[in-house]
Amino acid sequence: MFKRNVSGWGLSAATLMAGGLAWGQEPPPGMIDLQAQQIVQNQASIEARGDVVLQRDETTLSGGCLQFDRGSGWIEAGQDLLLQRPDITVAAPKGHYHPKDRVGSVEQASGTIHGADDIYFRVDLLELGPQSWTLTNPWITTCDPGRSDWALRASMADIDPDHSMTLQDLRFEVEGIPVAYLPWLRTTLKPRDSGLLFPLFSSGNRRGSEIAWPLYWATTPWMDITYTPHWMSRLGWGHEGEIRLAQPGDGMLLLRGFLLNDGGQSRSLKGWEQRIVGPGWHWETRGELFSDVGMASDFVLPLQRDATGRYAMQTATLAGAGEWGNGGLFMNHRQDLIGSSQGQVVSDAGWMWSMSGIVDALSFQWDVEMTQKRWYAPQGVDLSRWQATPSVGQSINVDGFAAQWQARSWLAHYRERDGRVVQRVVPAVSADVSTGFEKVFHGSTQQGWNRVRHRLQPHMQAVWIPYEDQSTLPAQEAGPWQLGWSNLWALNRYAGEDYINGARRITLGLSQNLDGGYGPVDERRTRRFGALEVLRSFEADPSRVLSDNTGVVDHWSPWFVRVMLGSDEGWSAGGDIRWDNSGVLDRHRMLQWRSQLAQTRLSESWIPNVQHSWMWSGAVTSDMGTFKARYEWDPEGAGFLNSGISWRGDFGCWAVGLVAERLRLLDGGLDVRFGFGLTLLGLGGGGKLPELSDL
């Protein structure tokens, strides 16, 4: 085999023959490295035959026969041409190529456009330009070679490999069968490149038939805009917008909105979220504004709702930490969207400061908060509050035994709207005693060891407030006493100490956990095998304070039972049962069941509580895709609440999403909708698929 190195296309034969590199030595930039079984040259051209490999920088050209013109620098290649570059690979019977200018043309070619998702193509004629490519009669897909789940056929395609692809006379094929036609389409090739994403289709009795087609615009490396026009057969045209802006540190700003022209009436919904992180401080705000409750009901911006979806929120927090503790400023504004208290607003603003430490084995903490709060209701409450909560405690740990105690005092000063002042000094004492054992032994696991731990922990907290002194103050300030215990078993346990009972006032019950883990201790990985909780709390209903201003109404909460089984890596299943037979505050008798079945880690995402209803939700992932379902039923009230099913299937090179659901909206109306979406992975910026409503 001959090996020659060419530093330019206009060199003489003598220079060509004299210029050479040692075997294995990399040629310098711009130099041509040529290898072949036979090389024949003259003053006008060089011809190479037999296993020809030509390389210039990151471009490799190979084939059975290659001839290049010294004057023009063009290469004519035949006998199974293969062109390999970082951005494209092309195979063809023959072709022309200029390695210095990176331009050329090939016929009856096939190849791959390299990127985050490779794009495969076949084409009658491929013309390679320095910045863009032109394909005549192309066949294009992102499916793996040998598969043809879907493909795009066009009469012409212009490709900018760094940005987008434009097709003319486009036909979309599934399994070789044409299913759609478009005269023109431009789609993105990069996740953050501007262009049209794939459309979403849906139908519902509130909006009618609906088409939404997002347009994505990457304005700068730190900002992008998504505009989505909606056409709804019953509501007309709607306009949805989203702006994302990266901010210093780990900060971000997100603005979202929906504008609807409904019968000549302009209706709107706006939401925002912002986070800025600095050295020792952070700022966070989020909120939602709407023109009418119906707008908030039909078009949900889930970032700005509380966990139940019932309240529209506007919040802002500025917090920091330093040598003297941590503190901050806060503002909250909440509006009720449903029920008899629809439109009712509660707002509060203030500041807080906290400091903690350890002195001579005694731990102490000091919390101070100043709040101005107002309930905007027919007989609302307007008050300012100053409160401080100093505490001191100690922990004792001996082999097999652990105990801790804490003494806490609650000092509060209230001034109501009529000028009345209520001051309190409330002692509070809590005690926690733990017993347990721990054993470490070697087993047959991959890590070679396991750990067993048991902890039995009763705890009690007492807070005394004279009932007659509660006046019209909010019920959450009163918590007479609390009693409970937990019984914890753990296998190889690392995170079990994070368990929290969760009861707030009087709590009677049992908590039983069975957890397991794996891996080194410093990785903090825990796998939960099971949990059981049986709890009941004595509570006060703050809604009575707001409605008739007569004081706090006390009652027992429903019994609460939770059972959960599962593992982080495999599956999880569980449920909640609540039973209320008290009839207090005009409540219905209620038996509530919630359960979930999931492929991975769904045990951490329990759905929000909805009173007086049966609830079930779950998700299962298999080779057929991901199925999600939700079922909610009010047996004594409105019947169906929110129920639906969705499916997403990923097929390697494309994905499909289907959803069908029935929703009871915030204004009491019903919406039955069906949605469909399709995205071709690697095209259209990834697309967006319909999912169950985030309520």
686: nearest Cα among 190, 244, 118, 222: 190
65 and 139 within one domain: no
- Domain contains 26: yes
- Domain contains 164: yes
Domain extent, residue 179, equals 102-190
| pLDDT tops 80 at residue 569 | no
The predicted pLDDT at position 494 comes to 28
User: Residue 567's pLDDT band (boundaries 50, 70, 90)?
Assistant: low
119 and 175 within one domain: yes
- The tokens describing 79, both together, are 């006998």
Lowest mean per-residue pLDDT among 32-46, 142-156, 303-317: 303-317
38 and 2 within one domain: yes
The predicted pLDDT at position 169 comes to 92
Mean pLDDT confidence for 657-677: 76
For 415-431, write each residue's pLDDT tens digit.
665 656 655 555 545 55
118 and 66 within one domain: no
| pLDDT tops 50 at residue 463 | no
| pLDDT tops 60 at residue 507 | no
Top pLDDT among 675 and 432 is at 675
Asked which of 39, 58, 84 is the last residue of a domain, the reply is 84
CA distances from 675 to 199, 201, 535, 692 (A): 11, 6, 40, 9
The predicted pLDDT at position 270 comes to 85
- The tokens describing 508, both together, are 């009677």
The predicted pLDDT at position 125 comes to 92
| pLDDT tops 90 at residue 197 | no
79 and 6 within one domain: yes
1 and 52 within one domain: yes
6 and 57 within one domain: yes
The C-alpha atoms of residue 681 and residue 376 are separated, in whole angstroms, by 50
Top pLDDT among 687 and 606 is at 687
The predicted pLDDT at position 466 comes to 42
For 318-346, write each residue's pLDDT tens digit.
999 888 889 999 888 877 665 555 566 77
182 and 110 within one domain: yes
- Domain contains 206: no
134 and 72 within one domain: no
- Domain contains 410: no
The predicted pLDDT at position 143 comes to 80
8 and 79 within one domain: yes
Residue type, 225: I
Top pLDDT among 436 and 695 is at 436
- Domain contains 40: yes
73 and 106 within one domain: no
Asked which of 58, 84, 110 is the last residue of a domain, the reply is 84
119: nearest Cα among 179, 182, 167: 167
- Domain contains 513: no
Top pLDDT among 121 and 389 is at 121
Looking at the structure of the chain, the number of domains it has is 2
- Domain contains 58: yes
% of the chain with per-residue pLDDT over 70: 53
Lowest mean per-residue pLDDT among 53-57, 278-282, 520-524: 520-524
Mean pLDDT confidence for 599-608: 27
The predicted pLDDT at position 227 comes to 92
Asked which of 190, 220, 242 is the last residue of a domain, the reply is 190
- Domain contains 136: yes
User: Residue 401's pLDDT band (boundaries 50, 70, 90)?
Assistant: low
Q: Which residue has the tokens 């347990």?
A: 436
User: Residue 127's pLDDT band (boundaries 50, 70, 90)?
Assistant: very high
367: nearest Cα among 410, 317, 426, 419: 410
109 and 62 within one domain: no
